[in-house]
Amino acid sequence: METRFVQLQGDEHDAAVFAEAGRIIRAGGLVAFPTETVYGLGGNGLDPEASRKIYAAKGRPSDNPLILHIAERDELPPLVQEVPETAGKLMDAFWPGPLTLIFRKRPLVPKETTGGLDTVAVRMPSHPGAAAFIRAAGVPIAAPSANLSGRPSPTTAEHVREDLNGRIDMILDGGESEIGLESTIVDVTGGTPTVLRPGYIGRERLEALLGEIRIDPAVLEKPSADLRPKAPGMKYRHYAPKAPLTLVKGEAAAVSAYITEQCLTAPGRAGILCSLESACGYAAACGKAGKPILLYPLGEQDDEEAAAHRLFAALRQADEDGAAVLFAEACEEKDLGAAIMNRLKKAAAYHIIEV
């Protein structure tokens, strides 16, 4: 299949592009599109065949449910059994935006889309291109992140092309994703609202709005046979770069000293995901020893927005550069830092060193 690659221009010329993308969706095809979090791989969420195609294109296990994307709030009621009060509060505060809510589904939503579950994940993205595309399609868009299963989520259309060229009908290029990490997922189907996946909207903001919330234990610890994540996707190996990644935690100077020593003795070229400040130190120490290294500065120390924005692209770049081993500096697990650490732990397959 030939994949059409179309640049969005953010003006009236895009109308024809969205109309064509909408036709593709209604005919059962697949279109990758930008959102404020990461790029999505969209298909008609009410068509079981389109959902099967999404799983096939990504190489994704079919028990891992898809998120339905809508453009207006009134598209929600036909999809779900009820809209609990907590959901209403969350939607008022954070929709459109990087928040996905889990509801009990209505029969209209096929089991193929929900991986066999009786619940459905719904999100209303704030990206204007995403909203225009969903409106043009006229159906809820089922969309996982537009990467091959296991690879880092795509934050540019070029990342999507790397993974899915020839496997889908169209890629809409809307530039770099603003946030760079996937949406926060909150289950509102019963009892205390529960975070199934941390994201841009952190625990602190949810608590400020709702009072008590829970974090699914599988978010914090390594999922295992006894600790099954409530979001099925959280159990899979994820975001994994080709090189083994070690996440290093501790006081800044000790972390730098440990990573420097490891890089100096690494058999091949080591890569480091770090702050801009510490990148200079690594470059100096390894340069002095004549040891080439690969540096992936994610932004200034404590600039979590920058780190979130660059993380997935850095992991992909490390693959491309052929890094033999990788190290990442841990950040504080608070607000957006919790989401960054969640992705880093998965990318590191939970290989974490405390120094």
Binding site for Mg ion (CB under 5 A): 145
Query: Shortest distance, CB of residue 49 to Mg ion, whole angstroms?
Result: 21
Q: Considering beta carbons, is residue 136 or 248 the nearer one to ligand TXA?
A: 136
> Rule CB under 6 A: is residue 8 a binding residue for ligand TXA?
no
Q: Give residue 109's identity as a one-letter amino acid code.
A: V
> Rule CB under 6 A: is residue 117 a binding residue for ligand TXA?
yes
> Rule CB under 6 A: is residue 339 a binding residue for ligand TXA?
no
Query: Shortest distance, CB of residue 50 to ligand TXA, whole angstroms?
Result: 14
Report the C-alpha gap between 263 and 272 in whole angstroms.
9
Q: Which of 83, 87, 78, 67 lies closest to 107, judged by CA?
A: 78
Question: Is 312 within 8 Å of 241 (Cβ atoms)?
Answer: no
Report the C-alpha gap between 144 and 52 in whole angstroms.
12
Work out which of 34, 65, 180, 193 binds ligand TXA, going by CB under 6 A. 65
Q: Which stretch binds ligand TXA (CB under 6 A): 1-9, 87-95, 143-151, 317-325?
A: 143-151
> Rule CB under 6 A: is residue 119 a binding residue for ligand TXA?
yes
Q: Give residue 81's identity as a one-letter amino acid code.
A: Q
Task: Note the Cα 322 to chain centre separation in Å.
Answer: 23
Work out which of 51, 86, 126, 145 binds ligand TXA, going by CB under 6 A. 145
- # chain residues binding ligand TXA, by CB under 6 A: 29
Query: Shortest distance, CB of residue 250 to ligand TXA, whole angstroms?
Result: 30
Q: Which residue has the tokens 């895009």?
A: 14
Report the C-alpha gap between 211 and 206 in whole angstroms.
8
3-state secondary structure of 203: helix
> Rule CB under 6 A: is residue 285 a binding residue for ligand TXA?
no
Q: Give residue 248's identity as a one-letter amino acid code.
A: V
Report the C-alpha gap between 133 and 116 in whole angstroms.
27
User: Where along the sequence are the contacts to ligand TXA (CB under 6 A)?
Assistant: 35, 37-38, 40, 64-67, 100, 102, 114, 117, 119-121, 123, 143-145, 182-183, 185, 196-197, 230-234
